[in-house]
């Protein structure tokens, strides 16, 4: 982190510091992750772990008056002192994977940081910004949305130079109600761009009203644009994400690979693991919505290449009043694709067809009974269903 003087943090709450400490050189909210010189910000029940943070080498601890406001203020101060180009990424699906791909493109050529995993909310985003060093050239920050105003809040201290919207789809409808409001929430990233900033967007009519009349550069990404290198992955939806990342890298003047791009995707996304008997596990259980569920099922059929398929599918959360319809549509797709077997998990998942169970633990047992040698297995569902338990209990 770019060093911050402790006296700049005094308005944010109660500061406890070592006698010799005048500056801090990092920020953490988990005392177990403290390095020497860090500031420990006691969010949640963190006040109970101040002593542990000092034992780990913290220079100071802050017990904030307002947790989110304090984290935002600290991150904003770091951002103000940085010369890095900051990329904000949001979208209904694919934002984490696009971040992973963009990082893989940028890191070999520029001093680049990106958020860990899904550090994309009021705590994770400040932690990412506070990893910026004086020599950081590119910072990639994923921004999540649960409702209107959240991306605007995050962008207020991220201050992106480049804003990437991967797509607009039916997610978080329980909170924002309509896809039009999803577009409105995502477009808060566009509205946060400075004059001369760059918006990288799909060909999406719902975003057009937010692009018109702005003093920004707009790059619309063609869903069929050629990718000028090979990739270590082949799923169609990841190639769409790759096109977004390539357009962003070009705007950052980052050279593209001459041959192949190898990407390490975040945990529980695009994980492939060999199974005993020649089978294959596709573990994509971090989250699910109608768009990502379709993409995962089509990828399952592609990777199976004629082998028997078995899909463990959890229900999709936060879809509001239209949730039953979206689950029925997934069921229709399952039948259309002719999947070998389906294990549906959770009340709304009954509409997928196949065999139904209430919990991930039951699904893990049933999968063991149904699994055959050489099967290609997909595990996919909303995080609330907890399908990581299914993947963890498979062999391989």
The tens digit of pLDDT for each residue in 19-64 reads: 999 999 999 999 999 999 999 999 999 999 999 999 999 999 999 9
Structure tokens at 251: 């705007």
Nearest partner of 122 among 72, 160, 80, judged by Cα: 72
Q: Is the pLDDT of residue 267 over 90?
A: no
Q: Provide mean pLDDT across the span 96-112.
A: 97
pLDDT (0 to 100) of residue 393: 81
pLDDT (0 to 100) of residue 86: 98
Element (H, E) at 14: strand 13-17
User: What is the maximum span of the chain, computed from C-alpha positions, in angstroms?
Assistant: 68
Q: Is the pLDDT of residue 82 over 70?
A: yes
> How far is 155 from 280, CA to CA, in rounded Å?
40
Per CATH, is 4-65 categorized as 3.10.450.50?
no
Strands (E), 205-322: 217-221, 230-231, 260-261, 271-275, 279-283, 309-314
Q: How confident is the model at residue 237 (pLDDT cuts 50, 70, 90)?
A: confident
> How far is 50 from 310, CA to CA, in rounded Å?
48
pLDDT (0 to 100) of residue 103: 98
Sequence-separated (6 or more) residues with CB below 8 Å from residue 181: 148
Return the bridge partners of 271, or none: 283
Q: Which long-range contacts (CB under 8 A, 24 or more apart) does 321-327 make?
A: 321/173, 322/170, 322/173, 323/348, 324/348, 324/351, 326/170, 326/290, 327/351, 327/352
Residue 325 vs residue 117, higher pLDDT: 325
Please, where in the chain does CATH 3.40.1190.10 lie?
74-261
pLDDT in tens, 113-157: 999 988 999 999 999 999 999 999 999 999 999 899 999 999 999
pLDDT (0 to 100) of residue 198: 98
pLDDT (0 to 100) of residue 60: 98
Q: Provide mean pLDDT across the span 247-252.
A: 98
CB 161 within 8 A of CB 123: no
Sequence-separated (6 or more) residues with CB below 8 Å from residue 357: 343, 344, 345, 363, 366
What is residue 64's DSSP assignment? Answer: E
Structure tokens at 193: 């761009």
Structure tokens at 288: 């699910």
pLDDT (0 to 100) of residue 61: 98
> How far is 197 from 214, CA to CA, in rounded Å?
10
Q: How confident is the model at residue 346 (pLDDT cuts 50, 70, 90)?
A: very high
pLDDT (0 to 100) of residue 171: 86
Element (H, E) at 361: helix 360-370
pTM of the model: 0.89
> How far is 163 from 341, CA to CA, in rounded Å?
41
Q: Provide mean pLDDT across the span 75-86.
A: 98
Please, where in the chain does CATH 3.90.190.20 lie?
271-392
| pLDDT, averaged across the chain | 95
Please, where in the chain does CATH 3.40.1390.10 lie?
4-65
Task: Write down the CATH number for the domain with range 271-392.
Answer: 3.90.190.20
Record: fold of 74-261? 3.40.1190
Q: Provide mean pLDDT across the span 292-310.
A: 94
pLDDT (0 to 100) of residue 394: 77
Sequence-separated (6 or more) residues with CB below 8 Å from residue 328: 351
DSSP-derived pairing of the beta strands 38-41 and 26-28: parallel
CA dihedral 121, 178, 152, 264 (to 10 degrees): 40
Q: How confident is the model at residue 395 (pLDDT cuts 50, 70, 90)?
A: low
């Amino acid at each position: 982190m770019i060093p911050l003087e402790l006296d700049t943090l005094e308005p944010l709450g109660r500061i406890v510091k070592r006698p010799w400490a005048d500056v801090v050189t990092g920020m953490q909210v988990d005392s177990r992750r403290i390095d020497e010189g860090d500031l420990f910000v006691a969010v949640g029940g963190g006040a109970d772990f101040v002593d542990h943070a000092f034992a780990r080498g913290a220079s100071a601890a802050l017990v904030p008056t307002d947790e989110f406001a304090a984290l935002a203020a600290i991150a904003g101060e770091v951002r103000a002192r940085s010369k890095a180009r900051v990329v904000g990424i949001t979208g209904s699906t694919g934002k984490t994977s696009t971040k992973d791909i963009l990082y893989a493109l940028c890191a070999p050529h520029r001093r680049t940081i990106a958020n860990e995993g899904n550090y994309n909310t009021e705590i994770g985003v400040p932690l990412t910004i506070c990893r910026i060093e004086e020599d950081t050239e590119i910072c990639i920050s994923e921004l999540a949305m649960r409702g209107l105003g959240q991306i605007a809040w995050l962008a207020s201290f991220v201050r992106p130079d480049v804003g990437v919207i991967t797509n607009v789809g039916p997610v978080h409808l329980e909170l924002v109600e309509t896809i039009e409001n999803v577009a409105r929430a995502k477009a808060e990233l566009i509205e946060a761009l400075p004059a001369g900033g760059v918006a990288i967007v799909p060909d999406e009519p719902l975003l057009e009203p937010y692009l018109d009349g702005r003093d920004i550069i707009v790059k619309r990404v063609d869903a069929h644009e050629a990718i000028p290198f090979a990739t270590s992955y082949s799923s169609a939806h990841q190639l769409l994400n790759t096109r977004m990342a390539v357009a962003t890298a070009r705007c950052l003047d980052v050279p593209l690979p001459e041959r192949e791009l190898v990407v390490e995707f975040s945990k529980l996304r695009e994980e492939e693991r060999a199974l005993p008997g020649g089978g294959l596990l596709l573990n994509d259980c971090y989250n699910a919505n109608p768009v990502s569920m379709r993409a995962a099922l089509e990828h399952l059929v592609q990777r199976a290449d004629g082998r028997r398929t078995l899909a463990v599918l959890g229900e999709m959360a936060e879809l509001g009043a239209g949730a039953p319809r979206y689950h029925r549509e997934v069921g229709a797709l399952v039948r259309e694709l002719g999947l070998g077997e389906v294990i549906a998990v959770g009340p709304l998942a009954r509409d997928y067809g196949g065999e139904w169970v209430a919990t991930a633990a039951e699904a893990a047992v049933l999968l063991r009974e149904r699994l055959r040698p050489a099967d290609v297995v997909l595990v996919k569902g909303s995080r609330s269903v907890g399908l990581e338990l299914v993947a963890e209990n498979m062999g391989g």
